[in-house]
Structure 1
């Protein structure tokens, strides 16, 4: 497949990857994506995406013509589930020139509210962060074997239409958990789409990008702003020690850091559409209340 007919293959065509897939198709790209069951295949076809079963004999011909691979699949306790399926194909993917991996800022571990950037050594404290680092290294090996550029996107807390503090407040599920000094960085779905799209259309060599906005903030402040903006009662503050949280939710509070995003701005010449939660608030309210689609 020529450079004028790019073919994007997506592993994990979910919330973060779907806008990128739609952007590619709008620009004339062929887009294929993996699936595990027939219902997912039907949903992909309805989007205009070619569904491919997640098994080697089906993957091989689809990947053979792919110029770009994007994966958003999180590694499990046994490692990245995709790499064992495609590593043996790396030497045969003659058309492949770019691989994108959606990782996480949890690879940096806890910095007690301090700043991190792409040059900060990875020091994950959580098991899922350690698995992310292992997956990043494995995808680096794959990109070397396939002679393709690898762009790793370390994502902060993802929010956007349907998944945000406004939606949580309107659904009556919002909690204001307070832990002294706790800060989270966030990234809007639209800014993930634009960053990845620019990277996959660039000639940049392999590198890491942090995807985070400009305004890390305490989580309780975000809930308060959302509640006030939609005219709902502000939930009471709950001390972290007293909060009824799942083990997964509780683990997020074990790490606190501010994430720098300078590399996206300089290397991709990109100005964030939503540099803060405040800047996204009106659009989130419009979407969640049905006045904007």
Structure 2
């Protein structure tokens, strides 16, 4: 299978430590909690002023993984979710989360932005609304005008490129989203870049491939024996799908904080675009080799689910050359094969 030719200089995947000097800021709100679960204002003003403070709008799969990595490195991290149930679950894991209502954002959410040094936006658009934060543009602008924000990143999707007929695309390829959600993604990209520009803040957009990782992968789908979601069914016939492991997304995020690159938009994908049929066949093989209790009946059912004829409609092979060359990211999982193998290796018997 032909794939994009990607090259660049890499560095060893060593966890980055950030000790960026910050200007003094006002006392942090009480909901900001350090990694040891002690309120930051209790640790002394000097410690508070010297710590990097990340706020994550949208504590989803990527946000949770990134939060844990940052907490392990001594960051102060807070974020948002949209339900009390999820908030309780995240707090039980030691995360600090506040509820967010897209229609009526509380001032506590906006005030929290004034205390952070870094902001990650990981909220998908809402049909009929668009980006739920940008709909309150004036309030957002006025908030960001008075902050000590050093870095902002919006997590988008490679879907903004639209139908490319299997072409290899980089960040300069014309965007032409073909479905409503992709169009809203593109509008959100433009909106966040404009808001950041107006506020004098350096901002980036990361266009992510299909996200997978522990708990969210072809291996997990097979083991749970759940029916395919509607979005999965729509992607079954694609010959090429660019993916990225959540750990490599976090690598790219930390690299952009550390290196402060000039480019605003980056594709964040692995080296191996492949069909879902191919990926699930490999995942099935891994599962059957490690856990022989998986029935052949289930195996055949899954194989048939991904046996539809492939098509190049709407497909693309996404280049990650700029991510490698400019962010100097060396992928931990350059292929779905190494990524799925690591997931299986970390699993205990799930049956």
Q: TM-score range by the shorter chain?
A: 0.7 to 0.9
Q: Does 1:204 align with 2:254?
A: no
- Following superposition, the deviation at residue 224 of structure 1 comes to 1.0
* SS of residue matched to 2:188: helix
- Following superposition, the deviation at residue 173 of structure 1 comes to 4.2
Q: 1:155 aligns with which of 193, 208, 227?
A: 208
* SS of residue matched to 1:204: coil
Unaligned runs of 5+ in 2: 1-21, 24-48, 289-293
TM-score in terms of structure 2 length: 0.73
| CA–CA separation in structure 1 for the residues paired with 2:91 and 2:257 | 23
Contact 1:65 1:93 in 2 (8 A): no
Q: What is aligned with 2:173?
A: 120
* SS of residue matched to 2:259: coil
**How do 1:148-187 residues align onto structure 2 when only pairs under 5 Å count?**
148-173=201-226, 179=237, 182-187=239-244
Unaligned runs of 5+ in 1: 242-251
Q: What is aligned with 2:346?
A: 287
Q: 1:190 aligns with which of 242, 247, 271?
A: 247
**How do 1:12-161 residues align onto structure 2 when only pairs under 5 Å count?**
12-54=58-100, 55-76=105-126, 77-85=128-136, 86-161=139-214
Contact 2:208 2:269 in 1 (8 A): yes
Q: What is aligned with 2:285?
A: 228
- Following superposition, the deviation at residue 160 of structure 1 comes to 0.8
Structure 1 residues 61-111: Cα deviation after superposition (integer angstroms, max 9, x where no partner): 211111111011111221100123452434533201211111000000011
Aligned-residue CA RMSD (Å): 2.6
Contact 1:12 1:71 in 2 (8 A): yes
Contact 2:113 2:147 in 1 (8 A): no
Contact 1:96 1:146 in 2 (8 A): no
TM-score in terms of structure 1 length: 0.86
Q: Which structure is higher in RCO with an 8 Å CA cutoff and minimum separation 6?
A: 2
Q: What is aligned with 2:275?
A: 218
Contact 2:165 2:312 in 1 (8 A): no
Q: Which has the larger radius of gyration?
A: 2
Cα 1:110–1:45 change in 2 (3 A) is same
Contact 1:115 1:260 in 2 (8 A): yes
- Following superposition, the deviation at residue 254 of structure 1 comes to 5.1
Q: What is aligned with 1:245?
A: none
| CA–CA separation in structure 2 for the residues paired with 1:83 and 1:105 | 20
Q: What is aligned with 1:239?
A: 308
Contact 1:150 1:205 in 2 (8 A): no
| CA–CA separation in structure 2 for the residues paired with 1:279 and 1:37 | 34
Q: Does 1:261 align with 2:307?
A: no
Cα 1:48–1:145 change in 2 (3 A) is farther
Cα 1:11–1:134 change in 2 (3 A) is same
Structure 1 residues 96-150: Cα deviation after superposition (integer angstroms, max 9, x where no partner): 1211111000000011211111111111111111111100000011111221111
Give the total of aligned pairs.
Answer: 280
